[in-house]
Amino acid sequence: DAGITQSPRHKVTETGTPVTLRCHQTENHRYMYWYRQDPGHGLRLIHYSYGVKDTDKGEVSDGYSVSRSKTEDFLLTLESATSSQTSVYFCAIGERGGKAETQYFGPGTRLLVL
Amino acid sequence: SQQGEEDPQALSIQEGENATMNCSYKTSINNLQWYRQNSGRGLVHLILIRSNEREKHSGRLRVTLDTSKKSSSLLITASRAADTASYFCATQAALEYGNKLVFGAGTILRVKS
């Protein structure tokens, strides 16, 4: 596996509480991504980062915020968790190579919002 | 909205048989990629085909791309029980900043031994 870790790996929380998920990479890749995976939807992009302090929204960004203060860390925050945010969250990293790029994924975080 | 749609949603075959999965997409792309996900794990990149390529091989994998039909297929030859996984196509759109990928819903492949 590429040097990507996610923490925590599992979390159970209650509706209305804040939750922060961490993605850490040791590959020094410029691009980092947060996805959520739900049955029947594949992976959907929440937010991504193209450098330190440079982030942008993805397809399903409502209710989520991100921060990247260091190249190696990308944080995903649910300000006030809702049951609809119960999902598996994956972090990915990538580096620009010519016109193409592949992404390398972390092991995922299972989040249950009660 | 999802870019890639995969067909079939699920596929069950015997070990040694070939498995074919199809992917359709909607807009112009730079490249199309296939990923595999074993149960409970993250996705692993399998193969990438660029928009100016028609066919690509990697070991037992063969990918085709038809940009006129906006479709791709992934063929796994001589399947093994270890190929049991979910397979996702992902497209990288032309003129898309951030190298973002848009994933399909995936095909669940089960290879019976």
Chain A closest CA to B17's CA: distance in Å?
26
Chain B closest CA to A79's CA: distance in Å?
24
pLDDT of residue A15: 98
Q: Which of B47, B49, B35, B48 is nearest to B85 (CA)?
A: B35
Residues B64-103: pLDDT tens digits? 999 999 999 999 999 999 999 999 999 988 766 677 899 9
Check CB contact of A9 with chain B, cutoff 8 Å: no
Among residues 52-71 of chain A, which lie with CB inside 8 Å of chain B? 56, 58-59
pLDDT of residue B112: 97
**Inter-chain CB proximity B43 and A43 less than 8 Å:** yes
Contact (Cβ atoms closer than 8 angstroms) between residue A9 and residue A111:
no
Residues B46-55: pLDDT tens digits? 999 999 999 9
Q: What is the mean pLDDT of residues A3-32?
A: 96
Residues A81-106: pLDDT tens digits? 999 999 999 999 987 655 558 899 99
pLDDT at B1 over 50: no
Output the CA torsion sign for B64, B67, B68, B69: positive
Contact (Cβ atoms closer than 8 angstroms) between residue A14 and residue A114:
yes
Average pLDDT across chain A, whole number: 93
Check CB contact of B98 with chain A, cutoff 8 Å: yes
Residues B20-40: pLDDT tens digits? 999 999 989 989 999 999 999
Full 3-state SS string of chain B: CCCCEEECCEEEEECCCCEEEEEECCCCEEEEEEEEECCCCCEEEEEEEECCCCEEEECCEEEEEECCCCEEEEEECCCCHHHCEEEEEEEEECCCCCCCCEECCCEEEEEEC
Residues A37-57: pLDDT tens digits? 998 788 999 999 989 999 999
**Inter-chain CB proximity B50 and A105 less than 8 Å:** no
To 5 degrees, how large is the angle CA A75–CA A76–CA A81?
A: 145
Residues of B in contact with A107 (CB under 8 A): 41-42
How far, in Å, CA of B2 to CA of B105, rounded?
8
